[in-house]
Structure 1
């Protein structure tokens, strides 16, 4: 008998991020199928794998990962991120995640990693270095030329976090955060933090709050 596709729930605070991931997975729907997409909503369906996209999430708080690990609806939990700071990876493993995957993985390797986790393996990607994200990913501000890291920092600023808090949450040095902020200001043509926040609010950098059930005919 053919094996049923692995059911996956996508979790993040931003629709545009999750929809980009969903489009990648959808190319392999004979192997992996999306059951639901949750933005700031608790899991509803029991799924084989929860894929937690760490874009603009308070990773250093670790709260969301723990909630997913403890959820009876999540058989396996994978973190999907560019941030491979050793403390983050170790913390995620201590909490019991089954995978910590890089956004630099090619799509076929990404799907293979989900399948390996479903089969019972613990999969930790190599740090991504300067590799670009897999084709098809999306994030707020991409159309304006913002990289995913720049967009994540702008999202945290839009949420009201200080430079010190952004540094703590992203595990970037304060000077690196300042460099990113200067680059962000140039790309969105603003000159102050207030202008940047207003631009962020108007351009999709505020977290979403909804669920998409049974995306494209999922279970």
Structure 2
């Protein structure tokens, strides 16, 4: 009897972000496949793992886990982030998340990590041995995509713009991303230069026209 592929949902409000993960997993469709389902209804098919991509999210990890539990979406939740720091691991554990995966992992290792997490009983961390992203938020793994990438915004710069477009102050952004206020300011200044803007209002207008407004939360479910 052929074993069914692992059934995975992707939780993020940005179409480009979700599409990037789907593209990574596509060559491994015999092991993991991805389709969209309604985030507020119990899925018709069983779900093994929710992969929560943190890009542009303003929700706390605890709120994310409660939402998943409330709608019976999956038994396991994975935090998918560029920064698998000890602080991120601690926050994930405290929120009831089951594992953390670095976005720097190539597709083959991402699939292996998901399969490992599906079988594991304890907390799992899969990070990139090359280390975290650099100070400009650049990454070697270009399989991912995000709003603003065509304008040469790094992932971290784009995340600043995404949160600004959601009305967040610099202080809010620092708290949400676990960055220092000075780092937030530096990322925003760098993003503004690339966007050709000088004010927050101009940044919001630019962001709206470049896909930075989040859509209602969608989940993506793997075909059996």
**TM-score, shorter chain, exceeding 0.5:** yes
- Aligned pairs (5 A) from 1:201-212: 201-209=208-216, 211=218
The match for 1:16 is 16
The answer to whether the aligner puts 1:94 opposite 2:94 as a matched pair is: yes
The CA distance in 2 between the partners of 1:158 and 1:12, in whole Å, is: 16
Alignment size in residue pairs: 215
The answer to whether the aligner puts 1:130 opposite 2:137 as a matched pair is: no
Kindly state the Cα deviation for residue 189 of structure 1 after the two structures are TM-superposed. Answer: 0.5
Moved over 6 A (4+): 212-215
Task: Name the SS for the 1:64 alignment partner.
Answer: helix
The match for 2:185 is 178
The CA distance in 2 between the partners of 1:47 and 1:205, in whole Å, is: 29
Kindly state the Cα deviation for residue 11 of structure 1 after the two structures are TM-superposed. Answer: 0.8
CA gap 1:154/1:37 in 2 versus in 1, 3 angstroms = farther
Kindly state the Cα deviation for residue 85 of structure 1 after the two structures are TM-superposed. Answer: 4.3
Contact 1:85/1:171 (8 A) holds in 2: no
The answer to whether the aligner puts 1:146 opposite 2:144 as a matched pair is: no
Kindly state the Cα deviation for residue 170 of structure 1 after the two structures are TM-superposed. Answer: 0.5
The CA distance in 1 between the partners of 2:64 and 2:4, in whole Å, is: 29
Q: Which has the higher contact order (CA 8 A, sep 6+)?
A: 2
Contact 1:69/1:95 (8 A) holds in 2: no
| Structure 1 residues not aligned, in runs of 5+ | none
Q: Please provide the CA RMSD for this pair.
A: 2.2
Task: Name the SS for the 2:191 alignment partner.
Answer: helix
- TM-score w.r.t. structure 1 length? 0.88
The CA distance in 1 between the partners of 2:96 and 2:217, in whole Å, is: 27
